[in-house]
Amino acid sequence: MDILAEEFGDLRPEEMAAPINTVEEKWKLLPAFLKVKGLVKQHIDSFNYFINVEIKKIIKANEKVTSDADPMWYLKYLNIYVGMPDVEESFNVTRPVSPHECRLRDMTYSAPITVDIEYTRGSQRIIRNALPIGRMPIMLRSSNCVLTGKTPAEFSKLNECPLDPGGYFIVKGQEKVILIQEQLSKNRIIVEADRKGAVGASVTSSTHEKKSRTNIVVKQGRFYLKHNTLSEDTPIAIIFKAMGVESDQEIVQMIGTEEHVMAAFAPSLEECHKAQIFTQTQALRYVGNKVRRQRMWGGPKKTKMEEARELLASTVLTHVPVKEFNFRAKCIYMAVMIRRVILAQGNNKVDDRDYYGNKRLELAGQLLSLLFEDLFKKFNSELKKIADQVIPKQRAAQFDVVKHMRQDQITNGMVNAISTGNWSLKRFKMDRQGVTQVLSRLSYISALGMMTRISSQFEKTRKVSGPRSLQPSQWGMLCPSDTPEGEACGLVKNLALMTHITTDMEDGPIIKLAFNLGVEDVNLLCGEELSYPNVFLVFLNGNILGVIRNHQKLVSTFRLMRRAGFINEFVSISTNLSDRCVYISSDGGRLCRPYIIVKNGKIAVTNKHIEQLAQGYRNFEDFLHESLVEYLDVNEENDCSIALYEHLITKETTHLEIEPFTLLGVCAGLIPYPHHNQSPRNTYQCAMGKQAMGTIGYNQRNRIDTLMYLLAYPQKPMVKTKTIELIDFEKLPAGQNATVAVMSYSGYDIEDALVLNKASLDRGFGRCLVYKNAKCTLKRYTNQTFDKVMGPMLDAETRKPIWRHEILDADGICSPGEKVENKQVLVNKYMPTVTQTPLEGTSQPQQPQYRDVPITYKGSTDSYIEKVMISSNADDAFLIKILLRQTRRPEIGDKFSSRHGQKGVCGLIVPQEDMPFCDSGICPDIIMNPHGYPSRMTVGKLIELLAGKAGVLDGRFHYGTAFGGSKVKDVCEDLIHYGYNYLGKDYVTSGITGEPLEAYIYFGPVYYQKLKHMVLDKMHARARGPRAVLTRQPTEGRSRDGGLRLGEMERDCLIGYGASMLLLERLMISSDAFEVDVCGQCGLLGYSGWCHYCKSSCHVSSLRIPYACKLLFQELQSMNIVPRLKLSRYNE
Amino acid sequence: MAVPRSRVDEIRNCITLTEYGVRNVHTTDFPGNYPGYDDTWSQKRFEKNFRINIINMDDSTVEFDMIGIDCAIANAFRRILLAEVPTMAVEKVFIYNNTSIVQDEILAHRLGLIPIKADPRLFEYRNSGDEEGTEIDTIQLQLKVKCTRNPKATKESSDPRELYVNHMVYSKHIKWIPIGNQADHFGEAVIGPVHEDILIAQLRPGQELDIVMHCVKGIGKDHAKFSPVATASYRLLPEITFLEPIEGELAEKLKKCFSPGVIAIDVLEGKKLARVANARLDTCTREVLRNEELKHKVKIGRVRDHFIFSVESTGILPAAVLVSEAIKVMMSKCQRFLNELDLAQME
């Protein structure tokens, strides 16, 4: 009975007997969550925070510009606004612009940034409002985008797809995504062992102004401070003294008075004694001598001591605030660091770098704010420089700074950074490449997948397993399946379905609340309290706030306040029992996700709530406000007991998972029954789902992309998942339901090759459209000439356009609907031969000369012209875009894949009558070899086939949701009911012999994707063709009609085999054979039978060598090395 | 060595379905293969054994039994039905104007797959290289539709059916344009799509289609659009035998293992006794083999030479006509083969 009482606590017997109430449809919270948060909400939230809040803070921090030339002159920013996206039609006339127009016209979707300023002109003080200082690229669907709050009907008016997630930028007509960047958390103490096993602590501090890294290292039992600005490691006791803690006792009190802690720290104190440093002045002098001098310019000269004090106050542990050189908080912080190291030394408990509680995700908003602040500072310093230069000069007009505010610096800075992806900020020594990527529009899924992608800062080439492996703390936050193979494996990750990334929050109210809840301020403590065994330290965003005795009460009250809505729902609080700390976090970039609250073994959410949700009386926010659901970040998750299913709830349970399948991401969510598959197969499918052709958006026909693949008849999958419904994959599908027979057929199906039914292809299976574009601009040049387009050239005799110009309209641009063949002209463009301004004095010819530079079509197969767009781009040049279309039916070699990482190429196309058929007369669309199954272990595909077959017979869609979905047993019962075999294996007759097959065939529909890899784009052969100019060797690559390389390994084979003549033929005769005249006397190359060195022709003989060899000799000669050829007759 | 006669009969006549595979799938009754059996070809015996029973027949489908024939011949009929009975289908599409969102190629593909009601027997194959076509080998069809706003539509309506006119292009919009004397020739039987309600494209006001199509005669081997059948296939007659009488509860269980109507239960002296009522209805789910109790008491198989054909026409010709056409194709093939043989003999 006692045991029972222990287990069930204070539950009454009837409560124990009552069955746990189940909330069957709690998954309905998920669409509600996605409705408020959306799949790319993290990007949009972050950007919104930047343009509405952060940008104002940046202005505030850099509000005043002054000049050294005139102390009276100043410029002060009063406010800043980011407007709505617009385009300048003509001078000072603007008009709102839609994202799609920017895409088509190769423009940037950006809005003006305007400021209110106050400045002096002469002795006047002037206030100017709404002055533009530059343009900000606007994220689609952010608060300043024209798309926000629009209905689907309005979306279609703007040529925009309502299902498009947004969250990207349009820069110079290209869609660019700023990838989520993962990095180690700032301002947190990380205790780590180095390669030799010595434990040290490090903190990367970061504030708006500075970024620095502070290390505590142990050398021979002594503690040192290691910092970039100090030329060598400084004993820690000296640092303490330099910060004003002169008494050794005080230092030890702060670090801890336990026996072993004191013993560990004693050598450090001793060292300080040996150095004869006892006072702050001495210590500062000592530190001052070690400061690395960097800035020589600016500011009045400081003494070394002042410099050291400045350094300790602002650069070491930047994030700990120091006011008027009161180092108290910083000393305590450093003491805590040392204490951590000492405690870790004993039991080797170091922190885990890869733990997701220690990671922060940097989003578009944060990255842009760094960039903007940098550009804004540059802008201001430029203004200051101009002021310094102009003010001293006496001018008629008074200095007016407004005239010198140029917009293009900020505009170009932003546009260039986003379009190239190079984020180089001198201030933070940041130089990152590949921050942005072009949004992949291969399919809807590939675009969505890109928006949830996270790239890590680790080097890809490093062969480390730690950061690449799956971390337990990733559970529910990052998708365990979706990562690329190869070098970026495990470094590029994707968000799970319900993950939310926090943005920065005001910490003032939290500090106030913490003090009200009994936290004692560190500044009021003597130091020894820190190491009391029953006292917990309280941290807020990495800074020590104070100490508390009753931490449980603090945490529970804090959570209560949060659930009641007094504090922001994204503030997290968690206890770390081993470090005896309470961590409160309100910083941005933390991963968090919602959970259902469980109290005393009872779920807060009831069926009634869900019912109201379904009826629309309630939304997700209401669930949050009524403390039914709350967000937990990774650290807080560690402090909770979360039940996966309702039946697993015990007395200790604090939370319940909303739905387990949400731990997968968008791409993995497409896979039916992924929990039955071998895990790498799901990873492969995640990569392949992005290559599948299908539909890319409702506006796909209005787009003019460089490359677009569409399926002629896309279908929604027979076996769907909850994720598929949630992300609207059904509305924009990428694949077709093919009837598959799993059997061997003809031998053209080995190694995963598929056999396709010809009649299915005739009827449109796998038929796809390939769109490409051709572009041309008509420019104006500086010498008043401009490009022009001329009508087709007529044949002299027939008066008909010549073949190359056959498809041109009278205006010289091809007309829609025409068929274009290789080398035909799309735009008959002419360019002036002289585009530079002629020199003064030389007379300009009356009629400028033109040279034809036609835009021709290149491609082995014909295309059709879908549409022609004539517009102008941002530089007011004419822009002509031509969309070309090809329709392709599947052929041998085209690649297909099911949703289980089972890819294969088409190996054979078989007429329908040769295909096997079952009793009901059905022939398969695809025959797949059964050898694909045993080693791959994709049981999910087998179940998909069963569920699909039952669904077809029953006229409904089955679910293959991860960790759920239709049960195999029920599905098989359905099969029996409709007169099919229980196991899905049918009696099948051969179409060739007419006799039944000896085996039963697994037969049914499976969702197949057509992948973008098609033979037509890859096939290549060459007999003769172009050669490179320099070496006269055949060119390289398919696009240049290049040769097929006989590489080193192939060469080695031929050498080994002794096929010397073949080798000669391959490497010289078929490549770059060249006749040279060599003088036998001097061994140098001659020319046309004459040796220029010997001035004779008597010893000159002609021989064949590779051109590259001749080139080598000449290049060597040019650098004063004489290669000589020794000639002798082989028969002598 | 001696195999009992009954066993040999079973191997010869019956395909056995076991739990994990099909046995005796191949035809083995070749002359001289079985001692004591006379398997030499005899026209008389064939005529005696061969039967065709028509089970049901309407314009679109026919189901008939073909008994007493080798599977190779039965399969040949099936293959010919699928691939070698000619029909008329749209082959050339001349697009004068297409401002709809459907791409030209896709539109042409869709038009090609529409079954055209025209008796292919009255037409000739078009010669290769012939682009124009004549009255004996070509049917000309026209599709000319323009979508407009409906002036009578109410203002607040958002239903496209009410707002627009001609916004759905159906196969009924396709009109036949007789060439030469076709109008007199086919006067009665109007040529056009079999079905009226095949959706070809959707239009919006201002969009239009102006298309002329040429239909030619072709066979399914060339393209599936020429195939005259939706499908043609056969199955073998199921055969269920009890190795021992099945009574009581087991009988009920047995009944559930088969499709409805296959097993009947007689009540004899208060005892339930299972009986095979109509094996033909069985779909061969082999459910009975999953039951441990019944597994060894029942044998399921199929009769080797009893083919249950099912032919579904696309509607161009009645299914029965298609079968007879298939037989004609078969005959002409045989005739050609015989001629070849004669030629070879002469050389």
Both tokens of residue A38?
Answer: 């959306």
The residue among B190, B225, B260 that closes a domain is B225
With CA atoms as reference, the chain A residue closest to B96 would be A817
In this structure, are B76 and B125 located in the same domain? no
Q: Is the Cβ pair A982, B290 closer than 8 Å?
A: yes
Lowest mean per-residue pLDDT among A580-584, A1039-1043, B189-193:
B189-193
Mutate to test the interface with A, among B236, B285, B311 (most CBs of A within 10 A): B285
With 80 as the cut, is the pLDDT of residue A196 above it?
no
Which residues, at least 6 apart from A57, have a Cβ–Cβ distance to it below 8 Å?
Answer: A208
Q: How many CB atoms lie within 10 A of CB B170?
A: 16
Closest C-alpha among A872, A492, A900, A880 to residue A681: A900
Amino acid at B297: K
Chain segment A575-593, per-residue pLDDT in tens: 988 888 899 998 888 999 9
Does residue B213 sit in the same domain as residue B107?
Answer: yes
3-state secondary structure string, A598-653?
A: EECCEECCCHHHHHHHHHCCCCHHHHHHCCCEEEEEHHHHCCCCEECCHHHCCCCC
**Residue B231, SS3 per DSSP:** strand
Q: Quote the tokens at residue A733.
A: 């599908």
pLDDT at A1: 42
- Are A998 and B225 within 8 A, CB to CB? no
| In a shared domain, residues B57 and B152 | no
Residue B78's pLDDT band (boundaries 50, 70, 90)? very high
- Contact list in A for residue B284 (CB cut-off 8 A) is 919, 981, 987
The rounded distance, in Å, linking the Cα atoms of A1073 and A1107 is: 6
Nearest CA in chain B to A973: B287
Of A669-678, A754-763, B150-159, B299-308, the poorest mean pLDDT is in B150-159
Which residue reads 């079952």 in tokens? A918
Gap between the Cα atoms of A336 and A354, Å rounded: 22
Sign of torsion, CA A562 A564 A565 A567? negative
**CA angle, B123 as apex, B140 and B212 as ends, to 5°?**
10
What are the φ and ψ backbone dihedral angles of A92, each rounded to 5 degrees?
65, 10
Q: Does a structural domain hold residue B193? A: yes
* DSSP assigned state of A496: B
Q: Does A980 touch chain B (CB under 8 A)?
A: yes
How many other CB atoms are found less than 10 A from the CB of residue A568?
Answer: 15
| Identity of the residue in A762, A987, A991 whose CB atom sits nearest the CB atom of B22 | A987
Interface mutation vs chain B, best among A989, A993, A1001, A1002, most B CBs within 10 Å? A989
Check which CATH number belongs to the domain holding B156 and give it: 2.170.120.12
Q: At CA B146, angle to CA B143 and CA B150, rounded to 5?
A: 140
* Maximum average pLDDT range among A134-138, A274-278, B268-272: A134-138
Cβ-Cβ pairs closer than 8 A, A with B, add up to 110
CA distance A529 to A538: 13
CA nearest to A992 within chain B: B75
Q: How far apart are CA A597 and CA A600, in angstroms?
A: 10
Q: Catalytic residue among A352, A728, A752, A1017, which?
A: A752
C-alpha A566 chain-centroid distance: 35
Chain B residues in contact with A759 (beta carbon < 8 A): 220, 224, 227
Residues B94, B221 share a domain = yes
Domain assignment present for B194? yes
User: Residue B20 maps to which CATH number?
Assistant: 3.30.1360.10
Cβ-contact A537, A530 below 8 angstroms: yes
Token duo for residue A145: 């985008």
Residue of chain A whose Cα is closest to the Cα of B114: A763
Q: Dig out the tokens for A533 from the structure.
A: 């065994």
Residue A8 — very low, low, confident or very high, per pLDDT cuts 50/70/90?
very low
Per-residue pLDDT tens over the stretch B81-109: 999 999 999 999 999 999 999 999 999 99
Q: Taking residues B153-178, what's their average pLDDT?
A: 89
User: Which residue's entry shows tokens 């998909």?
Assistant: A944
User: In degrees rounded to 5, what are phi and psi of residue A717?
Assistant: -65, 145
Is there a contact between B15 and A996 if contact means CB atoms under 8 Å apart? Answer: yes
Q: What is the share, in percent, of chain A residues with pLDDT greater than 90?
A: 46
B218 and B159 in one domain?
yes
The answer to whether position B273 is within a domain reads: no
Q: Which residues of A touch B234 (CB under 8 A)?
A: 989
The answer to whether A989 contacts B286, with C-beta atoms less than 8 Å apart, is: no
The type of residue at A843 is S
Residue B75 and residue B92 in one domain: no
Contacts of A921 in chain B (CB under 8 A): 231-233, 310, 312
Please report whether residue B254 resides in a domain.
no
Last residue of a domain, one of B170, B195, B225: B225
Q: Distance between CA B144 and CA B208 in Å, rounded?
A: 7
**How far is the C-alpha of A140 from the C-alpha of A162, rounded, in Å?**
12
Residue with the two structure tokens 């078969």: B330
- On the 0-12 / 13-18 / 19+ scale of CB atoms within 10 A, A538 is buried
pLDDT classification of A291: cutoffs 50, 70, 90 = confident
**Is position B255 within any domain?**
no
Beta-sheet strands, E only, within A262-317: none
Full DSSP string of A77-94: EEEEEE---EEEEETTEE
In which element (H, E) is residue A945 found?
helix A939-954
**Same domain assignment for residues B173 and B208:** yes
Residues in B closer than 8 angstroms to A982, CB to CB, are 285-287, 290
pLDDT for the residue A19? 46
When CB atoms are compared, the residue of A866, A922, A999 closest to B21 is A999
* 3-class SS of residue B126: coil
CB contacts, 8 Å: B76 with chain A: 994
Answer whether A685's CB lies under 8 Å from A735's CB. no
pLDDT digits over A647-664, tens only? 888 888 899 998 899 999
Q: Residue A1043 in contact with residue A1035, Cβ under 8 Å?
A: yes
Residue-wise DSSP of A440-499:
P-SSHHHHHHHHTEEEESS-SSS--STTTSPPGGGTTTB-SS---SGGGTTTEEEBBTT-
Nearest to A944 by CA among A920, A919, A971: A971
Which residues form the domain of B212? Answer: 88-225
Least confident range from A658-662, A1066-1070, A1112-1116, A1128-1132: namely: A1128-1132
Query: What H or E segment, with its residue span, contains residue A679?
Result: helix A679-688
Contact B95 A919 (CB under 8 A): no
Model confidence, pTM:
0.89
Mean pLDDT, rounded, for A673-696: 93
Q: Which residues contact A417 (CB under 8 A, 6 or more apart)?
A: A371, A423, A435, A436
Contacts of B113 in chain A (CB under 8 A): 763-764
Q: Which residue, chain included where needed, has tokens 């040999």?
A: B8
pLDDT at A300: 57
In this complex, the residue of A767, A919, A999 whose CB is nearest that of residue B284 is A919
Residues 6+ positions from A994 with CB-CB distance below 8 Å: B71, B72, B74, B75, B76, B78
CA separation for the pair A986, A945 (Å, rounded)? 13
Cβ count within 10 A of residue B341: 10
Per-residue confidence (pLDDT) for residue A7, from 0 to 100: 46
Is B48 within the bounds of a domain? yes
**Separation CA A387–CA B179 (nearest Å):** 88
Q: Assess whether B185 and B236 both reside in one domain.
A: no
B237, B108, B293, B259: which is closest to A977 by C-alpha? B259
Spatial distance between the Cα atoms of A826 and A619, rounded to a whole number of angstroms: 54
A224–B contact, CB cutoff 8 A: no
In angstroms, how far is the first alpha carbon of chain B from the final one? 48
Q: Are A654 and A598 in contact (CB under 8 A)?
A: yes
pLDDT attached to residue A22: 65
C-beta atoms of B225 and A997 within 8 A: no
Residues 697-756 of A with CB under 8 A from B: 701, 712
Are B93 and B177 in the same domain?
Answer: yes
Q: How many CB atoms lie within 10 A of CB B288?
A: 23
Beta bridge partners of A178: A436
The count of other CB atoms within 10 Å of the CB of residue A1127 is: 14
Give the pLDDT confidence of A308-348 residue by residue, as tens digits: 888 888 888 888 888 877 888 888 888 888 888 888 876 66
Does residue B331 form part of some domain? no
Same domain, B63 and B29: yes
Indicate whether B97 and B47 sit together in one domain.
no
A1089: CB partners within 8 A, 6+ apart: A1077, A1097, A1100, A1102
Residues of chain A contacting B75 with CB distance shorter than 8 Å: 991, 993-994
Main-chain phi, psi angles of A880, to 5 degrees:
-115, 125
Cβ separation A913–B101 shorter than 8 A = no
Tell whether B188 and B220 lie within a shared domain.
yes
B18 located within any domain: yes
Tracing tokens 């344009």 back to the chain, one arrives at B177
Alpha-carbon span A171 to A137, nearest angstrom = 7
Give DSSP secondary structure letters for A312-332: HHHTTTTTS--BTTB-HHHHH
Has A1052 been annotated as catalytic? Answer: no
pLDDT at A494: 93
DSSP output for B131-187: -S--TTT-EEEEEEEE-EE-TT--TT---HHHHEES-EEEGGGEEEE--TTHHHHHS
Measure the CA–CA gap between A819 and B217, rounded to whole angstroms: 27
Task: Specify the residue for token string 């968090």.
Answer: A592
Nearest chain B residue to A993, by CA: B72
Number of structural domains (chain B) is 2
Nearest alpha-carbon partner for A413 in A402, A400, A426, A401: A426
Mention every residue, 6+ apart, whose C-beta is less than 8 A from residue A277: A237, A238, A241, A283, A286
State the pLDDT at residue A12.
53
A-chain residue closest to B238, CA distance: A919
Tokens 């060292």 — which residue?
A271
Name which of A300, A299, A284 is nearest A230 in CA terms.
A284
- A712, A982, A999 ranked by CB distance to B106: nearest: A712
Residue whose pair of structure tokens reads 């010809």 in the numeric block: A758
CB of A864 less than 8 A from some CB of B: yes
Q: Which residues contact A506 (CB under 8 A, 6 or more apart)?
A: A586
Backbone angles phi, psi at A243, to 5 degrees: -90, 10
- CB atoms < 10 A from the CB of B51, how many? 12
pLDDT score for A3: 47
